Amino acid sequence: MSSAKLLLFALAAHASLLASCASAPMIESDPSRPQGPVMIATWPFGRLAVDAAAESLDAGESGLDGIEAGIRLIESLGSDGSVGLAGRPNAAGYPQLDACIMDGPSRGAGSVGGMEGIVHPITAARRVMDSSRHVMLVGEGARWFALEHGLETVDVSDLDAKKTAWVERERDPEEPAEKGHDTITLLMLDGNGDLYGGCSTSGAGGKLPGRVGDSPILGAGLFVDNEVGAAGATGVGENVMRYSATTVIVEMMRQGMTPKEACEAMVHRIAAVDPLGYELDVCFIALDKQGRWGAAASNQRFPFAVGEAGRSQVVHVDAVPRR
């Protein structure tokens, strides 16, 4: 994407975030099979990912290309300070990035965790899927692999000093200017009826170096089953990982639940057994093979983006009613 076009997207991002303050309440998606692709993405900045993915499809690229293009844009913009190298730093003062991608038709998947200095972790995840015999690479190995495949990096020569300083102050964390744990997760049903998904994040601000959240963990932050549907998560990763949440959501859809019902049921299922109850700070999105979409949130208003019938919008759900 050209720098001029990236600037236009950045301006659109600001407008989209402002518009999300008045996002429409979620309505039930049309149960009839949609014409053309259907997409859903986390948070208001997800609308930019949806639009970029749609632009990729319009240019004749694949659904997987669209997922990568949409997420790459958010990584470039550093939207909400929670994605890409502009994301919130860890306790030692630098970002470590997580991402994964899943290809429904081939059952392929790639993932990277705790990666340093690589501008587009979503592309690194795709390279793992396309160009290695593995599914997940982490830390220094993930960075080596990305560099070997020509991915863009920033200078990381200052990281050793930051790591040393953190150890010397007895691992007393640097408090990030703003804590948070948002993620860009993008799901797609293309015009052929195939499903794709991806996610990327810099993780929780102030996390311990080496902490990996749910985003790159298949079945936790993201799961795609081309026969049934796809699901993604955002929020406190530990509260997603411990329940393999997106796998369960997809299995609930397999048993006949709509995406909205499955997302809500997952929140209730976790809250029923977790010591935190509903104070989980997690949100889910889902999309099924019929093009129906839905979302749920444990304890907050959750705005997210939807693209269908050639247009995109930001809608929201309120926290699920507590039982």
Q: How far is CA 205 from the centre of its chain?
A: 16
Q: Is residue 220 part of a domain?
A: yes
CATH code of the domain covering residue 169: 3.60.20.30
* Confidence at residue 82, expressed as pLDDT on a 0 to 100 scale: 86
Residue 320, pLDDT > 60, answer yes
Q: Is residue 8 part of a domain?
A: no
For residues 188 and 288, what is the distance between their CA atoms, to the nearest angstrom?
9
Confidence of residue 182 (pLDDT cuts 50, 70, 90): confident
9 versus 274: the higher-pLDDT residue is 274
pLDDT in tens, 124-158: 999 999 999 999 999 999 999 999 999 999 999 88
Q: Is residue 19 part of a domain?
A: no
Catalytic residue annotation? 183
Q: Is residue 322 part of a domain?
A: no
Q: Is residue 313 part of a domain?
A: yes
Could you tell me the residue range of the domain that residue 292 belongs to? 26-317
Q: Is residue 9 part of a domain?
A: no
Q: Is residue 14 part of a domain?
A: no
Average pLDDT, the chain: 89
Element (H, E) at 219: none
What is the total count of domains within the chain? 1
Q: Which residues of 33-64 are buried (b: 16+ CB within 10 A; e: fewer)?
A: ebeebbbbbbbbbbbbbbbbbbbbbeeeebbb
pLDDT in tens, 51-106: 999 999 999 999 999 999 999 999 999 877 889 999 888 988 899 999 999 999 99
Confidence of residue 177 (pLDDT cuts 50, 70, 90): very low
Q: Which pTM was predicted?
A: 0.90
Radius of gyration of the chain (CA): 18
Residue 176, pLDDT > 90, answer no
pLDDT in tens, 17-52: 444 445 666 555 555 555 679 999 999 999 999 999
- Tell me how crowded residue 153 is: count the other CB atoms within 10 A of its CB: 15
Q: Is residue 4 part of a domain?
A: no
* Confidence at residue 20, expressed as pLDDT on a 0 to 100 scale: 46
* Confidence at residue 165, expressed as pLDDT on a 0 to 100 scale: 84
User: What percent of the chain stands above pLDDT 70?
Assistant: 85
